[in-house]
Amino acid sequence: MQFPVSFTDRMQRLLGPQEYPQFLEALQATPPVSVRINKAKAMAVATLQPVPWAETGHYLPERPLFTLDPAIHAGAYYVQEASSMFIEQALKQAVHLEEPLQVLDLCGAPGGKSTHLASLISEDSLLVSNEVIRSRASILAENVAKWGSGNVLVTCNDPRDFGRLKNFFDVMVVDAPCSGEGMFRKDPQAVGEWSEENVKLCAQRQQRILMDVWDSLKPGGLLIYSTCTWNEQENEENIAWLSEQEGAESIKLQLQPEWGVVPTQLSGVEGYRFYPHRVQGEGFFMAVVRKAGIDESFTNHSKSKKKKYKLSEAGKKEKSLVQDWFLQPEKYSFLQYGDVVSALPEHLFEAADEVYQNLYVVYAGTEVAEVKGKKLKPLQGLALSQHINKEAFSTADLDLEQALRYLRKEDISLGTNGNDWVLLQYKGLPLGWAKQIGNRMNNYYPKEWRIRMELPQELLETTIVSE
């Protein structure tokens, strides 16, 4: 792999003559493969090597064909690059995670950091996961739905739109679009697209993004900034610039020497670098700053009765039908937007409504059912929810071939009869819905989610998680 001269010159300066050859050698090696387990649905197989800075992160000995593992479609785990899981340390070391928080993942697609954040924050917290490109926002919504935490709003907005939510978020994650130097090993095409001019353009765009969203962070709130690149312009210089402009306080994280993370400092701002010869992961940079001031906002519930809401409660009939579908229905507000009934933790209603008032929401909470005349059709979001009451439905367990054929949206037969909705499962993990009509089984897996690859003649089971 040939790299641009200006890139190699800079990396030699950053790493020095002793480390640089090790760095180059690492870039030629096979990238490690890592996953993060959804503890609400599964537990890791004991033999997997842990990612040292992420409690539910694990390395795989080789890369399996993930598409043919029904557990990934059930949201039991997420394939995520290990270095980027380091945001867990920022949250655990600098945030009171037991408190109710309002969190933003600004550049959320395809969903690695968003599903990670959803696992780290409390059930009383709201996560707004945003993606500016509509097609990528749909992928983000799919992965959020599969994770099934139920306290996430997926939005599709430009960063400047968040200025309408002044002092709204306690924590903001900006994994900024960058020149991608840290992905050279995984994506050789990124090498050909790299240039010093592109680095400059990325750095300028990142500054614009930071300033566009800064007002929506509460005083005293935390900004976690990250890129998958190594140059100082997009990393240390940008955060030093932000701190100078806004008086933000740099947060220093505690590192374990065996992690191999390299701390940096520029103008009093701490940063954290990940190099492939030092860590089992790709290139990554992260910095954490706290916004100056003290948050003095509070919610005056006595005035909230006069507020005109955009969200509306589902009708009594619809609500009575879906309540039993949740393990603790008393904790939820059941909302209706068009023909779709969604569930959202009740205490998040007002915050969610404010998001609806100001942003374009793609997916909210748990999509429970679609109103079809006098009947309700259960939706995929409910099937994959961490909070579904499976005892409220007929269930059927599929073997590997049946599960994959279902996920391909093929017709399947279980040799049963009846006239009811059936929750199909693989090893106890819900996959989605089918409708039993006599001895026929109609497949209701979302067509846009279906597996498109042909199934091999010999199906080999990929065992990554267990119940």
Structure tokens at 15: 């790493």
Query: Is 399 labelled a binding residue?
Result: no
Average pLDDT, the chain: 94
For residue 257, the model assigns a pLDDT of: 97
For residue 303, the model assigns a pLDDT of: 42
For residue 466, the model assigns a pLDDT of: 67
Question: Domains in the chain and their CATH numbers?
Answer: 86-291 (3.40.50.150), 306-392 (3.10.450.720), 393-453 (3.10.450.720)
Query: Is 158 labelled a binding residue?
Result: yes
Using DSSP bridges, classify how beta strands 375-378 and 366-372 pair: parallel, antiparallel or unpaired. Answer: antiparallel
Question: Taking the model in full, what pTM does it have?
Answer: 0.95
How many angstroms separate the CA atoms of 433 and 422, rounded? 6
228 is a catalytic site residue = yes
Q: Which residue has the tokens 């009575």?
A: 320
For residue 196, the model assigns a pLDDT of: 96
Structure tokens at 341: 């009934």
For residue 295, the model assigns a pLDDT of: 78
How many angstroms separate the CA atoms of 308 and 462, rounded? 51
How many angstroms separate the CA atoms of 375 and 392, rounded? 16
CB atoms closer than 10 angstroms to residue 195:
13
Write out pLDDT tens, residues 151-189. 999 999 999 999 999 999 999 999 999 999 999 998 888
CB atoms closer than 10 angstroms to residue 405:
17
How many angstroms separate the CA atoms of 364 and 154, rounded? 6
Do 112 and 84 form a contact (C-beta atoms < 8 A)? yes
Cis peptide before 263 (omega within 30 of 0): no
How many angstroms separate the CA atoms of 375 and 116, rounded? 36
For residue 44, the model assigns a pLDDT of: 67
Residues of the chain falling short of pLDDT 70: 44, 46, 297-306, 460, 466-467
Do 141 and 114 form a contact (C-beta atoms < 8 A)? no
Query: Is 131 labelled a binding residue?
Result: yes
For residue 306, the model assigns a pLDDT of: 64
Catalytic residue among 107, 156, 202, 228: 228
Q: How far is CA 319 from CA 49, 324, 329, 335, 433, in A?
A: 45, 9, 10, 9, 20
For residue 297, the model assigns a pLDDT of: 64
For residue 302, the model assigns a pLDDT of: 40
